[in-house]
Amino acid sequence: MSVRFRRAAALAAAVLMLAGLASPVLAKGVTKKQAIRKALRHAKLARKNTSHFEVTKKKGYWSIEFFRKKNGAEYSYNIGRRTGIILKRELDLPYRHCRSRRRVCRTYVLKKTARISGFPLKLIKKGTCRYEYENCEGSYEVKFRKGNFKYEYEYLAPTGRLTDISRRYRPKKKAK
């Protein structure tokens, strides 16, 4: 290739990049280092402020997970290997950094389940009522059995709002 042709090609590529029609990333793809840099830049963190760094190469994207040293927040990014676009991002904060710690009491949830289901409170208390905390959101899960059916009710802990109801046919196993 002549020098003149190379200069013309470089000049054309520069003009296209300035116009926003082409990207230097599209030609090569995104390296592991570039993906890490992009995730850290988006999280507004430096590498020294993170711990438990994990990068895996998946089909079509880089999966990057790390923790912030200061508060233990877990960051998770999926960055496209071809384009460098952030496909998915997640931030899981530990409980102490969440805004709402308030929650309704267990008896309120049990009484509400009895009122909605139409079954006596005694029957519902035989089942389980468990408080779960995940992704800065608390919830109560009430499970009980009536005959061959299993019932599950799920409530948001801060408000007591019903979010999920399920009824499944589960016959009791006969003892031999």
Domain definitions of the chain by residue range: 1-25, 31-97, 106-169
CA–CA separation, 139 and 171 (whole Å) = 28
pLDDT at 62: 93
Q: Is 136 helix (H, G, I), strand (E, B) or coil?
A: coil
The answer to whether 65 touches 76, Cβ cutoff 8 Å, is: yes
Average confidence (pLDDT) over 82-101: 72
Dist CA 130 CA 143 (whole Å): 9
CATH 3.10.450 fits 31-97, yes or no: yes
Over residues 122-175, the pLDDT tens digits come to 989 888 888 887 766 788 899 999 888 889 998 888 888 888 888 888 777 776
Q: pLDDT digits over 104-133, tens only? A: 788 888 999 899 889 999 989 888 888 887
pTM score, two decimals?
0.44
So what's the pLDDT on residue 175?
65
Gap between the Cα atoms of 149 and 166, Å rounded: 10
Q: Which one is the CATH code of 106-169: 3.10.450, 3.30.70, 1.10.10, 2.40.50? A: 3.10.450
**Which tens digit of pLDDT belongs to each residue from 13-39?**
665 555 544 445 445 789 999 999 999
